[in-house]
Chains A and B, each alone.
Chain A
Amino acid sequence: MSHYEVKAGPEAFLPPAAASMGNVLPDPGEAHIGGKIVPEEEAYEKAARMVLGAKVPTIFPGPLVLWKWNDHVAEEAKAIRELALEAPMRIIPMADYRPKYPKINQEVEINPNHPNLTIWHNKIDVCIFFGVHCHMANLSLKMIRGGTNCYTIAMCAMAGDEDACLSFRDADLKMINKLKATIKKLKSEGVESQAEPFTQFVMGRSGTIVAPA
């Protein structure tokens, strides 16, 4: 029985899908770290430590949480922002999945078709996917693992993403808040954020960067 460890890359020109290497997704109440199934509690601790230990920790909120298609999502979006402020982490949105013409603005957006560009440009060493459809998340996560050294964390609302270095499943508002609480607890125990100073940008409705209100 082989165990394929899902680690931060750069792994290969074309890294394999972890599922094709035999990795199995967690059941409810579980998560995976590096492909190994662990109790969810263990994953919060690991994720929080990775975020605090990173120089450029970043949240990539996807369209499922960026667009207010129900009130519940708006609550999650707010919680994501609070999580980012608590850590602190940058927020770089993945607003949709279409490729960007003529080229992506790497400082302020990420796209699943070439996620490596945003990660390289901003030197992102730890990231969290939230609100990205599973198919598009796995698509990106493999490419990130292939060509960058970024440690990937997926907070998946469905069954989890085995192509992330760490993945939760059934992610919801409660879980975002729990991750935030875990980060807060570690900080109160003396674990300091290693994040480089940055200014969180704010985008207006036209997509341009505006000064925070």
Chain B
Amino acid sequence: MNKQVELKNKRVIASNHVKLGQKNQKGQTYTDINDIFYKAKQTPNFLTGSEVIRAAIKVASVGTSVAYPITPQSEAAALIGELYAEGYVDEYFRGESEFAVMGQCAGAAFGGHRVFTTTAGPGTLRAMENFPMWAGARLPIQVCVTCRGINSPLSIQPDTLEMYYLLETGMLIWHAETAQDLFDFILKGFIVAEQPDVHVPIAVCCDGFFVTHTKDTVDLPPDDLCLTPYDPYRNPQPVMDMETAPIRMMRDPFIMKSNYISYATHASWQQEVKAAVERSRKHTIPLLDGLIDEENTDREILIVGSGTAVSQAREAIRLLEEEGIKAGLVKIKTIRPFPYEEVRQATKNAKHIFVPEFNLAGWLAREIKANIPDNERVYVGPHVAGGMTMPSEVIVEEIKKHLGMEVATRGTLG
């Protein structure tokens, strides 16, 4: 990186939207994101994650939201329907399927609206073709992914495997640990994704049920403020000219239409989408206070995680400390862009790196192993899946086992 992105002042470049300071039809004042988070008084509220999504969308100046029921995001989608009824969202309707929803979101985004939707598990997979289409078309749509199991036999329970499938779609992927993260990430996500040098879709992911259906204290700004609307004039490319409706764009992409067209165009296009994801660092670092959080990373034992695995790891570290074992923690907030340099720096002193995950693939451990030197230091696990919880004691046990320490025997039958 040739220029360090500074954390000073924690600000992104302020909005100069023409509506800044004006009021919308609900009497909310269009306000710069910096002022919403760093100037306005934040008030504690006790809410479920689904209610937090509603609270965020209420102040997000969303133009269109398209819904399709799939647990565990259904409640959030229904609550956004209430916002539509109350006049906080311009357009809201139910799609025919998750695939249709994402196509309809594309149409709304092509038309210049700020677009928000939610999905989960099999819905994410069913809609999958649309995500790289969004990214390739540089549509800054936000989808909140409330992760759940994707495979048969059916599970509605949390599992973060679907995030693995999203990694190379060209979307920004942020992973919220808590309901507070979820609120912050949704609002800040719009701002980062809509920067003209970024302008790609964003998946704000959280662990279904653990975050969406539990109550937590969340600091919220006053709801008489709202984000400045999306500005379509800051789009880095024109709405695609495909002769017909946007949904047809992937049937006749103009760079594949002719033998005269260089394949290099398509390659350069893909590179540009990846580059846009990398550019988001500059805006994300000040808004999220860095792409990772670190606690005691000078220690030899380190736990690196994302999502609610971080909460469990934090408690595991407390339990380990009771036994005189000291461990540090790295919380990864953005999976795309992946915080390569940050993770390298944070793990440089560690001799043992544990990566607890709510999926059996271990995609986060793979990312870390591919990124840091001496990657035999990475212990891939512990893992749970299919809706299992990950008790902090399991993390403790795994760490002690790996370090050759004595572990209490589990109870046996008979």
Interaction A to B? yes
A residues near B (Cβ < 8 Å) are 1-4, 14, 16-20, 22-25, 27-28, 35-37, 63, 96-103, 112-114, 116, 133-136, 138-140, 142-143, 146-147, 158-160, 162-163
Do A113 and B282 form a contact, CB below 8 Å, given A1-B1, A139-B269, A159-B197?
A: no
Interface of A is mostly: loop
B residues near A (Cβ < 8 Å) are 1-3, 5, 13, 138, 195-197, 199, 234-238, 241, 254-255, 257-258, 260-262, 264-265, 267-269, 271-272, 274-276, 278-279, 281-282
Bound Cα distance A6, B167 (Å): 28
Bound Cα distance A3, B261 (Å): 32
Say how far B9's CB is from chain A's closest CB, in angstroms. Answer: 12
User: Contact between A158 and B197 (Cβ–Cβ < 8 Å)?
Assistant: yes
User: Contact between B268 and A20 (Cβ–Cβ < 8 Å)?
Assistant: no
Cβ contact of B274, chosen from A14, A17, A158, cutoff 8 A: A17
Residues on A with C-beta less than 8 A from B138 are 135
Say how far A137's CB is from chain B's closest CB, in angstroms. Answer: 9
Interface of B is mostly: loop
User: Contact between B275 and A19 (Cβ–Cβ < 8 Å)?
Assistant: yes
Cβ contact of A99, chosen from B1, B260, B268, B274, cutoff 8 A: B260
Cβ contact of A135, chosen from B3, B13, B272, cutoff 8 A: B272
Cβ contact of A17, chosen from B236, B241, B264, B275, cutoff 8 A: B275
Do A133 and B274 form a contact, CB below 8 Å, given A100-B260, A143-B268, A160-B197?
A: no
Bound Cα distance A37, B1 (Å): 11
Say how far A171's CB is from chain B's closest CB, in angstroms. Answer: 13
User: Contact between A24 and B241 (Cβ–Cβ < 8 Å)?
Assistant: no
Residues on A with C-beta less than 8 A from B264 are 14, 143, 146-147
User: Contact between A19 and B276 (Cβ–Cβ < 8 Å)?
Assistant: yes
User: Contact between A134 and B237 (Cβ–Cβ < 8 Å)?
Assistant: yes
User: Contact between B2 and A138 (Cβ–Cβ < 8 Å)?
Assistant: no
Bound Cα distance A23, B4 (Å): 10
The 10 closest A-B pairs by CB, nearest first: A19-B275, A134-B236, A17-B275, A135-B237, A159-B197, A158-B196, A22-B1, A135-B236, A17-B271, A24-B3
User: Contact between A103 and B260 (Cβ–Cβ < 8 Å)?
Assistant: yes
With both beta carbons as reference points, the residue of chain B lying nearest to A63 in the complex is identified as B238
Cβ contact of B272, chosen from A28, A99, A138, cutoff 8 A: A138
- What are 16 of the A-B contact pairs (CB < 8 Å)? A2-B1, A17-B274, A24-B281, A25-B282, A36-B2, A96-B241, A97-B241, A101-B258, A103-B260, A133-B236, A134-B237, A135-B199, A138-B268, A142-B268, A143-B268, A160-B197
